[in-house]
Amino acid sequence: MTQIAEIRLRRVLDSRANGTVEADVLTESGGFGRAAAPSGASTGEHEAIELAPEEAIAAARDRAVPRLVGEAYAGDQRGVDRALHAADGTDDFSEIGANSAVAISMAAAKAGADMLGAPLYQHLGGAFRGENFPVPLGNVIGGGEHAADATDIQEFLSAPVGAPSVTDAVFANAAVHAEVGDVLAERGIPAGKGDEGAWAPSVEDEVAFEIMAEATETMSDDVGFEIGFGLDVAAAEMFEDGEYQYSDRTRSTDEQVEYVADLVREYDLVYVEDPLDENDFEGFAELTDRVGEETLICGDDLFVTNTERLQRGIEQGSANSILIKPNQIGTLTDAFDAVELAGRNGLDAVISHRSGETEDTTIAHLAVATDAPFIKTGAAGGERTAKLNELIRIAEDAL
Ligand SMILES: O=C(O)[C@@H](CO)OP(=O)(O)O
Ligand SMILES: [Mg+2]
């Protein structure tokens, strides 16, 4: 029986040492699941609402727990997530907090898997999952909202698209991260690390492009398979007064489209996330029209894992890829629905971490469960390697 018998909520630390919500879900027959909410820094304006952890916990205890304990079944994910929506009663989880909602949703899935005796990816994705693995996109140089005085572009992502296995891919990203560190040292450029463990040198974006091209080529030769790279521009963060504000200049929307299209061609970029403002469906469409055959144009702040925004993007041809972050929308069911809508319309799903993370590994399972072609979960740092190591274990069937 997977009927929920108890839910415990507590405040724990995330990787920025901020408080976040952790949930334990216990079932009547002894099933157990534990999960914690991540937290963004460059959040999209249309995301579900994260409340202060204490507030989210109090509201969830008051409103959601009574609708779940003795009422819902952990094995029935849609039932659990429906109860969370009903308990909240708003469109954006502003009453109980998307942080409480997503922690409970994910913990229930784990408790359901525990009772069924199946790995989480199989409980969520079915018996035939576990054959295909996502290509990990690894953040190796970054700035934006994730590090002060570093690059304007938020993330430069290693993309080992030719890796023969997910394990090879994970180690390739680690090798590119180390190689970037060596190249920075050789050039005498000091660099600390940003929130996601990427190097955060105080350099112009142009220098970061050079270093990425050099490091991915060197490591590609070394490992013997193709390693490309991509970007999360996080352009909404630099969009002010109708223009993109870079440290050395500004760009109009037309100039931004031109700039990114040129970068795609010059560096053979395999992936570009949020190249334009989060409300610019038209600008996205223009860029996708120009370079969508050559690269993935991915909507993160544009879509916020929301099927209504995704539907609009599909109608307008705004992107050929969507970032999936369960905490942007509040439940696993909503995240699944976004992946499925994307898939039916030929968009690739990229399952993603947040800049504030915990040891939670749910997204590794979610990526395998949904057969997603990509996962973005960093390259270095314990809260990042927790997910990467889980992928290695899933591939080895060693859970
Ligand atoms: O913009 C992003 O894609 C994410 C994760 O890399 O950052 P944040 O969690 O800060 O929104
Ligand atoms: Mg992003």
Does 187 lie in the same domain as 104? no
| 81 pocket-lining for ligand 1 (C-beta < 6 Å) | no
Does 169 lie in the same domain as 286? yes
Q: Which of 91, 117, 143 is a domain's end point?
A: 117
pLDDT for 209 equals 98
pLDDT for 17 equals 98
Number of domains in the chain: 2
User: Does 319 fall in a domain?
Assistant: yes
| 357 pocket-lining for ligand 1 (C-beta < 6 Å) | no
Q: What are the structure tokens assigned to 3, written together?
A: 């009927």
pLDDT digits (tens, 9 = 90+) for 294-335: 999 999 999 999 999 999 999 999 999 999 999 999 999 999
User: Does 162 fall in a domain?
Assistant: yes
Phi first, then psi, for residue 362 (nearest 5°) are: -55, -40
From edge to edge, which strands make up the β-sheet containing 239-240?
239-240, 243-245, 250-251
Does 183 lie in the same domain as 110? no
pLDDT digits (tens, 9 = 90+) for 85-94: 999 999 999 9
User: Does 309 fall in a domain?
Assistant: yes
Structural domain containing residue 306: 135-396
349: region left, alpha or beta (phi > 0 left; psi from -120 to 50 alpha): beta
Does 154 lie in the same domain as 81? no
CB 77 within 8 A of CB 112: yes
pLDDT above 90 covers what percent of the chain?
99
Does 150 lie in the same domain as 242? yes
CATH code assigned at 178: 3.20.20.120
Rounded to two decimals, the ipTM of the complex is 0.99
Q: Which residue has the tokens 């974006």?
A: 205
> Distance between CA atoms of 186 and 292, rounded to whole angstroms?
36
Directed axis angle between helix 77-88 and helix 332-344, to 10°?
Answer: 110
Mutate to test the pocket of ligand 1, among 352, 360, 383, 387 (most ligand atoms within 8 A of CB): 352
Does 154 lie in the same domain as 103? no
Mutate to test the pocket of ligand 1, among 42, 328, 375 (most ligand atoms within 8 A of CB): 42
User: Does 127 fall in a domain?
Assistant: no
Q: Please determine, for residue 377, whether its predicted confidence score (pLDDT) is greater than 80.
A: yes
Does 244 lie in the same domain as 367? yes
What Cα–Cα distance (Å) separates residue 182 from each residue in 177, 313, 378? 9, 41, 18
User: Does 347 fall in a domain?
Assistant: yes
pLDDT for 187 equals 98
Positions marked catalytic: 196, 325
Name 249's Cβ contacts closer than 8 Å, sequence gap at least 6. Answer: none
User: Does 112 fall in a domain?
Assistant: yes
Q: Which residue has the tokens 């969507």?
A: 322
Note the Cα 117 to chain centre separation in Å. 27
pLDDT digits (tens, 9 = 90+) for 168-210: 999 999 999 999 999 999 999 999 999 999 999 999 999 999 9
CB 41 within 8 A of CB 356: yes
Does 158 lie in the same domain as 100? no
Cβ < 5 A residues, ion ligand 2 = 232, 300
Does 301 lie in the same domain as 392? yes
Q: Which of 83, 117, 151 is a domain's end point?
A: 117
> Distance between CA atoms of 211 and 219, rounded to whole angstroms?
12
User: Does 128 fall in a domain?
Assistant: no
What Cα–Cα distance (Å) separates residue 240 from each residue in 46, 100, 244, 247, 283? 17, 32, 6, 13, 15
Instruction: Measure 43 CA to ligand 1 centroid, in angstroms.
Output: 7
∠ CA 149-152-153 to the nearest 5 degrees? 130
| 40 pocket-lining for ligand 1 (C-beta < 6 Å) | yes
Mean pLDDT of the chain: 98
Q: Which of 117, 150, 169 is a domain's end point?
A: 117
Does 316 lie in the same domain as 290? yes
Does 261 lie in the same domain as 337? yes
Element (H, E) at 19: strand 19-27
Q: What is the mean pLDDT of residues 283-296?
A: 98
User: Does 293 fall in a domain?
Assistant: yes
pLDDT digits (tens, 9 = 90+) for 202-259: 999 999 999 999 999 999 999 999 999 999 999 999 999 999 999 999 999 999 999 9
Q: What are the structure tokens assigned to 175, written together?
A: 């090798």
CATH code assigned at 45: 3.30.390.10
Does 175 lie in the same domain as 45? no
Q: What dihedral do alpha carbons 316, 319, 325, 329 form, nearest 10°?
A: 0
Q: Please determine, for residue 1, whether its predicted confidence score (pLDDT) is greater than 80.
A: no
